[in-house]
Structure 1
Amino acid sequence: MLETALLQDGSGTPLLRDTLTATREWSVVNDFCHRAYMPLSTHPLTAGMDPNATIRMLDIGRITFSRFCFGTPTRADDFDPDSGNIIVVNTLRGSVRHPVGGNDAIDTRPGDSYVVDCSRTQYWNLADGDDLQLNLTIPHKLMEETAARWYGFVPEDDLWKKRLIFGAGQSAWLSLLDYATRSLDARHDRIGDPLTERRIEEMICLELLRNWAQASGLNLETGARAAAPHYVREAERLMRQSAEDAPTITEIAARLGITARSLSEGFRRFRGLTPHEFLSAARLDALHAALRAARPGETVTAIARARGYVNLGAMTARYRERFGESPAQTLRRGRH
């Protein structure tokens, strides 16, 4: 999937035939990055190394698609927050390291997608030099418009500030991007039909919003969640922070000075789910991160039991439902 994205249209005709699509000049790479993403800084990890970059870029509606790699290990940082842009990095080859919560970082590997709103939070990445990415640059304003149109409200920065991985393997998200890029027409280097472009733009923004919200534990079905009180948001923070310790809902409520019943009612009203459901998702996310970062010799059983899982069969079923793969598959992917 996506092997020919921005290389050929759906009929196999080459795209961008009269456009510079590769370079060994840093000045050209930096100019491309500024146009495709936003003003930023690049630093080769080995001083004096020239790039061997792929730089292909096409627009579908207000979304910029780019097929990109530096071709040498590189750090990119100082992404300009005034750009107002969201970046989605879809890793096709190699690996790219990104920040997530706090001081933590995570590597995206083939099939992974990572989203960051550079207008709301700082961002940097480390590319291994053998990587290849299909990136999307989406105006934050466009995502707000999509949320308001479909759900009747605009999420607060609790969502937009979250930097996270979503999707895995042959996900529905990647299938949508494959469809979008195959819809391009090499005769015009775009889709050509404005109505079709707008529909694809809408589908991409809506699917991204759903994936982003789901991975963040946010229920979009009721706009009331945007006004969630402090104790609900604080409970979410505590549950994410202590997910590996498997706290009970009663313990979380006690730390907030409220009853478990009040906490449950708050989650039901403002999040559309129970605190237990949110905590279960947070624990699975912590397990997923631990499996990705496992050291040689560590097993799924040992990692899961260290995080309070006793019924490994039930855990595996919930894990597969959330991530589209088994814990053992995640562990193997993390070691490659």
Structure 2
Amino acid sequence: MQAMRDVLITSADGAPTQRHRLVASTDWDEVQHWCRQIYLPYDATPAGPARQPNAVLDAMQIGQLTLSRFSYGVPVHLSGFDEGAGIGLVLTTLQGAVRHWSSGRTHADTGVGDSYLVDLSRAHYRLDADALHLQVNLTFRHDAMAALHQRWFGCPADERMWARAYRFGGAQSSWMQLLGYVCRCITEMPDAVQHGPLGRHLEEMIGVHLLTQWRQQLDAPTSPTLHSLAPRHVLTAEQHIRDRAREAPTLSALASHAGVSVRTLNAAFREYRQCTPMQALRDARLAGVRADLLAARPGARVRDVAEAWGYAQLGIFAANYRRRFGESPSETLKRRA
């Protein structure tokens, strides 16, 4: 999973990079402009009290595929996907949770390490994502995937296949191992992936793997409601983190608020979020600082914003911030709205 978390924001030597950065913004129009370029036209609506996004989007081409790393930074509802664009998506959840709606009340939930495949030119789709969501997405063209099916399977795909959207993957699945390998290649050899035969090789591997699993869905479809996202004590702790991130609650305080032991809370976060509660808290605090930097008044200083969040060791704070967002706090401050 670490290779997927690092992809597009970390260079081969482990240093943060903005080489693939397309946008980091609190402006809906700017964010949606780039989303239309990388994905397709659709409608995005904030789903919570935060009305501005805190979005970061990085992307690169792998042949005719586009791999992107994206988060709105706030809870969102996405709908109105343009069926005429001829686009499909593979959405993989690295953090937080996403609910994927295929029709009516039918949905599938993805947690950390799960993917969801949908051909938006053939299937109805909408989604709800929580405030902590972070995705690695693959964008593909329907006609390119159809041609790949013809080439490798020797016949056109069954039209019913394209209309089937489904959840798949899991932390130990062959798909996640393949996606992790692709992400490592991007980090270690970005030019070879983007411009050389390695990229074409990866594109074929990804496409054939997806088509193979897609074909299997006709005979053994995945239930749309296989699992719940997380137990109540995880969701309660996450809400407390969102509400009290500035106060930096202790692990004991989080467990007490959730009504479970520290051991139980740690185990549940590791199982359902692939991190510890304190890692989730650190990410939430850094995201809060970033939001304040982007909304800061002229003349504001990074030191003042960081200290307001309780950061005393500014050097350590800045290093963690750069590792998380791929830019320094001062660079974020310069881009404030």
Range of TM-score over shorter length: 0.5 to 0.7
Q: Which residue number corresponds to residue 151 of structure 1? A: 153
Q: Which residue number corresponds to residue 132 of structure 1? A: 134
Mapped partners of 1:188, 1:294: distance in 2: 35
The residue identity in structure 2 corresponding to 1:111 is G
Q: Which residue number corresponds to residue 29 of structure 1? A: 31
* Offset of residue 102 of structure 1: 5.2
Per-residue deviation, residues 141-174 of structure 1 (Å, max 9, x unmatched): 1111111111101212210111110111132212
The answer to whether the 8 A contact 2:110-2:229 is kept is: no
The answer to whether the 8 A contact 1:42-1:74 is kept is: yes
Q: Which residue number corresponds to residue 110 of structure 2? A: 108
The answer to whether the 8 A contact 1:13-1:186 is kept is: no
**Structure with bigger RCO (C-alpha 8 Å, 6+ apart):** 2
* Offset of residue 211 of structure 1: 1.9
- Normalised by the length of structure 1, the TM-score is 0.63
1:173 to 1:295, Cα distance in 2 relative to 1, 3 A = closer
The answer to whether the 8 A contact 1:112-1:167 is kept is: yes
1:18 to 1:102, Cα distance in 2 relative to 1, 3 A = closer
Q: Which residue number corresponds to residue 292 of structure 1? A: 228
Would you say how many aligned residue pairs link Structure 1 and Structure 2?
235
Please give the secondary structure, in 1, of the residue aligned with 2:32. Answer: helix
The answer to whether the 8 A contact 1:85-1:137 is kept is: yes
Q: Which residue number corresponds to residue 59 of structure 1? A: 61
Q: 2:198 aligns with which of 196, 205, 215?
A: 196
Q: Which residue number corresponds to residue 293 of structure 2? A: none
**What 5-or-longer segments of structure 1 have no aligned partner?**
219-280, 297-328
Structure-to-structure mapping, 1:232-311, within 5 angstroms: 281=220, 285-286=222-223, 289=225, 291-292=227-228
1:10 to 1:174, Cα distance in 2 relative to 1, 3 A = farther
* Offset of residue 178 of structure 1: 1.9
1:189 to 1:13, Cα distance in 2 relative to 1, 3 A = farther
The residue identity in structure 2 corresponding to 1:289 is T
Please give the secondary structure, in 2, of the residue aligned with 1:289. Answer: coil
Please give the secondary structure, in 2, of the residue aligned with 1:184. Answer: helix
Judge which range, 41-50 or 166-175, deviates more.
41-50
- Normalised by the length of structure 2, the TM-score is 0.63
* Offset of residue 59 of structure 1: 0.9
The residue identity in structure 1 corresponding to 2:76 is T
RMSD (Å), alpha carbons: 2.9
**What 5-or-longer segments of structure 2 have no aligned partner?**
233-267, 278-337
Mapped partners of 2:23, 2:191: distance in 1: 13
The residue identity in structure 1 corresponding to 2:157 is P
Per-residue deviation, residues 90-146 of structure 1 (Å, max 9, x unmatched): 000101111136531121100100011001112111111210000010111111111
Mapped partners of 2:69, 2:171: distance in 1: 18
1:71 to 1:48, Cα distance in 2 relative to 1, 3 A = closer
Please give the secondary structure, in 1, of the residue aligned with 2:5. Answer: coil
The residue identity in structure 2 corresponding to 1:92 is L
Mapped partners of 1:63, 1:143: distance in 2: 10
Mapped partners of 1:289, 1:182: distance in 2: 31
Per-residue deviation, residues 71-105 of structure 1 (Å, max 9, x unmatched): 11111111111111110000001011111365311
1:46 to 1:157, Cα distance in 2 relative to 1, 3 A = same
Mapped partners of 1:26, 1:189: distance in 2: 31
The answer to whether the 8 A contact 1:90-1:134 is kept is: yes
Mapped partners of 1:101, 1:143: distance in 2: 23
The answer to whether the 8 A contact 1:41-1:76 is kept is: yes
Please give the secondary structure, in 1, of the residue aligned with 2:139. Answer: strand
Please give the secondary structure, in 2, of the residue aligned with 1:3. Answer: helix
Judge which range, 40-49 or 56-65, deviates more.
40-49
The residue identity in structure 2 corresponding to 1:129 is A
Mapped partners of 2:74, 2:35: distance in 1: 15
1:169 to 1:152, Cα distance in 2 relative to 1, 3 A = same
Judge which range, 97-106 or 7-16, deviates more.
7-16
Mapped partners of 1:24, 1:294: distance in 2: 29
* Offset of residue 290 of structure 1: 5.4
Mapped partners of 2:112, 2:9: distance in 1: 18
The answer to whether the 8 A contact 1:24-1:51 is kept is: yes
Percent identity, aligned pairs only, is 34
Mapped partners of 2:190, 2:226: distance in 1: 46
